A and B are shown apart, each in its own frame.
Chain A
Amino acid sequence: CGFHLRGSGLDANLLVHSAYVTGGGGTAAQVRNSLSLTPHITLLNTPATDALLIDVLREDSRQQVLTLTSLGRVSEYRLFYTVNFRARQGEQMLIDNGSISLYRDYTYDDNNVLGKTNEADTLIANMQQDAALQILRRISAASRNAAPVSSDAH
């Protein structure tokens, strides 16, 4: 049915071999983690001129009541996670103010606040992984488009 094995995330045709990521949040850590696992890319500790520069500018999470029980208590929370990022390669701005927003729902239980807060943390970690993957996929798509432009202006 037309499917063939090809990488996802930062795949082969990315023309860059080194990357540097700024940002102190969980998504930035996940991006660093995925980059360090990608075979032909070295993760740098300091920015280099021709390296891919990924700035994870802002990450924040917000919670909103989604549904109530008939006793007026919270039955479900919706957890939002938004990430703002920017990607540059040398002088070329690949993605200027990219943003990703995700959400997960989880049921709430007033009688187990600590347990449910820990569950919220696991969902945030999951969204951070998902956001990191989406960031890398957008960067590889953007650099695939940017590459031909820079080499042979048609």
Chain B
Amino acid sequence: VDPKPPVHIEADQVSGQTESGASAQGNVVVTQGDLRVESEWGNYDAPNDRLTGGDHVTMTRPGSVLHGRTLDYYIQRHEGTLTDPDYAMSPGKMRGDGAELLFEGEDKYRIDSGRATSCRPGDDSWYLHASTMWLDYTSNSGVAHNGWIEFKGVPILYSPWMNFPLDNGRQTGFLTPSLSFDNRNGFDLTLPFYWNIAPNYDATISTRYLARRGLMMGGEFRYLQPGYTGVLQVQGMNDREDQATRYSVLFQHQQTFTDRLWMAVDVQKVSDDSFFNDFGERAAIASQTNLPRQVLFGYNGDNWNSNLLFQRYQTIQQTSIPYARMPQLTFNANPQWLDGVRTGVSGEITDFTHPSLTNGVRSWVYPTISMPFVSNYSFFTPKIGVHASNYQLRDASGGNSRNESRVLPVVSLDSGLFFERDLDVGGNALTQTLEPRAYYVYIPYKKQSDLPNFDSAVTDLSFAQLFRENQYSGNDRINDANQLTLALSSRIYTANDGIELLQASIGQRFYFKDQQVTLSSNDQPSSASKSDLLLSLGGRFWHDLSADYTLQYNTEDRKTVRSTAGLTWNPQPGSIFNLRYTINRNQSPSTEQIDVSAQWPLTRNWYGVARVNYSLPDKQPLDAIVGLEYNAGCWGVRLAAQRFITSDAQFKTTYFVVLELDGLGGIGSNPVNALRTAIPGYTADFDGRQQ
């Protein structure tokens, strides 16, 4: 097979010697493989495979259309020059012009004193000008030297060295800078530099200038290997305003040694309590009060597994510090001895340390046996177990060491039936189930008020907790129980693929004696005869409308303890409306909030985005973001303002402005992350939306 396709010249007139080449005049068309060059005149030097042509040359190849005045091109080597180029590349839709275009190998172009844009011909909204620009479609990377961006005729950004992806892949080089303004730091400019070290290593080094505080250096290094993956993030600065060096470190690493043995490391540290308030995004601010420093090893046996955890926390912005677990060894297994008999054993040994509270080594073991009787329409599962714990306690200072132990039998009986019927709603076949369930638990009372509370908490009453033996999480409190839980739930799902559309459940627990075990000794034992009533309803009503409602109702004093109602309407990507009401009187102070968030097209190109999380007791929004997005095809603008509460109960307002140039990335601080957490279902990219 001939490796190189022949060169074919067609013209009004041709003269020359067949071996040595030809010169042609008049509508010259030269083709070679998938290359086609049209010009008024053209010469082909066969031995050197060199094609020259002139005055209005058009050179097309799959993926690029080039126009120019004169062409001098070595076809096989893909090298040469084209003067006065005007080019359009189809991968990544980059087009532009320049003084000269140089071919530097296949799919590699260099444009001298040229400009480039991704806007359609005739739309000159923005151009990237550069003294020299390389477009390398083999590695899909574009580089511009002495580049400056002209937007609607106004130069808006200069950068000595700018780099942009040609297929929005990962790119080494200066990401476009982001600037924002907020009431804590004033003007805030971040200039990230992305370094694509290798396919599975990359780093982002960013210099961030904060008007009130000075210059902060930050770095994020990520690695992704078959056996291990991880990220290291470091930020640091000398803070002018607080006269202190402030830094934050985060190191997360997951590794699988064998398919059974794995490890996960999560170490985070900040220099001071208000680091996140000053420098972090909203979600990071609110939830960062306890930064973990932990290493976890895990081993998965055939039907057993075990974990070894070393964990300590750095606590910021509050007084109470969680216990450190240095270490905690957990184990659980369910060996299969007898057919039809389920045996399981779990256990744990933990060394809890705390600077002020009682320290101690707690070890417990909890073997269980159950006999599940299961048929297609019913199940009946008696289960018995013994929870034995031992505490070797001492005061924080080491004195007053004492031993405590607790052994409690646990008896439970779980049973349920499955009813089904077929439904036909609007022509589609559905199946509805009716699932009554009864769950009895008996655990005798054992005084536990003199046991410390290392890792137990009262869990919210939910359908998940209704069918658990112990209403306390962790292992320091095991509630005494003589109770029966009754629940009825019904699910509707599509007959042909079994996808759950709707679900409704109602349940309540009936106590046959008082519950004496409490979390702390100064809580009052409860003498309620039944728990709150639980109701939950939810699902997709139409393909784009879904709603859910949960209620926890105290039947004694006839009042709602906790309730949430949510609605989501998402007719198409780019149009979403969420409404959520929540009230929780279990918390002190109780919270009652309305959360409305939406992203909606206002006109063909304008989109409105908004979210308000309004706290009724405080009569003020705790988090509000409002913004506008304009999509003009090859560029777009997003502006947003966000006002939210920080964990020192003050408010922080941040203004985002970003100009997104399709193919170049964004200039200005990008509110997309904030919008994505604020508006569930928010779609960021413009292409996905219906115009």
Contacts and interface: CB of A to CB of B under 8 A. Distances in A.
Interface of A: 1-8, 11-12, 24, 37-39, 64-65, 67-77, 104-107, 109-119, 121-123, 126, 134, 137-142, 145
Contacts of A37: 372, 374, 379
28 contacts: A3-B420, A3-B421, A4-B420, A7-B375, A65-B287, A67-B613, A68-B286, A70-B589, A70-B618, A71-B645, A72-B285, A73-B647, A74-B286, A74-B289, A76-B582, A104-B464, A106-B459, A110-B318, A113-B313, A114-B457, A115-B453, A118-B473, A118-B474, A122-B464, A123-B462, A137-B498, A139-B498, A141-B497
A144 B14 CA distance: 73
B457 A119 contact: yes
Interface residues of B, number: 77
B377 A70 contact: no
A104 B649 CA distance: 27
Given A72-B622, A110-B289, 5 more contacts: A104-B462, A114-B323, A114-B457, A115-B456, A137-B500
A24 B322 CA distance: 31
A106 B435 contact: no
Contacts, number: 171
B421 to A, nearest CB: 4
Nearest to B377: A5
A115 B473 contact: yes
A123 B421 contact: no
Nearest to B352: A114
Contact of B464 (A69, A71, A76, A123): A123
Contacts of A72: 285-286, 622, 645-650
Contacts of B564: 105
Nearest to B623: A68
Contacts of A105: 564
Nearest to A118: B473
Nearest to B490: A3
Contacts of B595: 67
Given A24-B300, A106-B460, A122-B464, A8 B285 contact: no
A115 B455 contact: yes
A114 B474 contact: yes
A29 B417 CA distance: 23
B493 to A, nearest CB: 7
Q: Is the interface of B mostly helix, strand, loop or mixed?
A: mixed
- Most chain A CB atoms below 10 A, which of B454, B493, B650: B493
B617 interface: yes
Nearest to B498: A141
A122 B473 contact: yes
Given A73-B286, A141-B497, A67 B318 contact: no
Contact of B418 (A6, A71, A112): A6
Given A7-B418, A65-B283, A138 B497 contact: yes
Interface string B69-110: 000000000000000000000000000000000000000000
Contact of B419 (A6, A104, A119, A138): A6
Contacts of A39: 374-376
A64 B70 CA distance: 60
A11 B498 CA distance: 12
B25 interface: no
A74 B687 CA distance: 35
Interface string B435-473: 100000000000000000111111110111100100011
Interface in B612-633: 613, 615, 617-618, 622-623
B654 interface: no
B591 A115 contact: no
A7 B648 CA distance: 54
B584 interface: yes
Given A8-B435, A39-B374, A73-B647, A122 B419 contact: no
Nearest to B434: A3
B453 to A, nearest CB: 8
A68 B376 contact: no
B499 A113 contact: no
A121 B465 CA distance: 12
A70 B645 contact: yes
- Most chain A CB atoms below 10 A, which of B374, B457, B584, B595: B457
A148 B615 CA distance: 56
A5 B419 contact: yes
- Most chain B CB atoms below 10 A, which of A7, A71, A110, A114: A114
Contacts of B401: none
B374 A110 contact: no
A123 B466 CA distance: 12
Contacts of B433: 8
A118 B498 contact: no
- Most chain A CB atoms below 10 A, which of B286, B493, B494: B286
A70 B453 CA distance: 28
B618 A5 contact: no
Contacts of B435: 8
Nearest to A75: B591
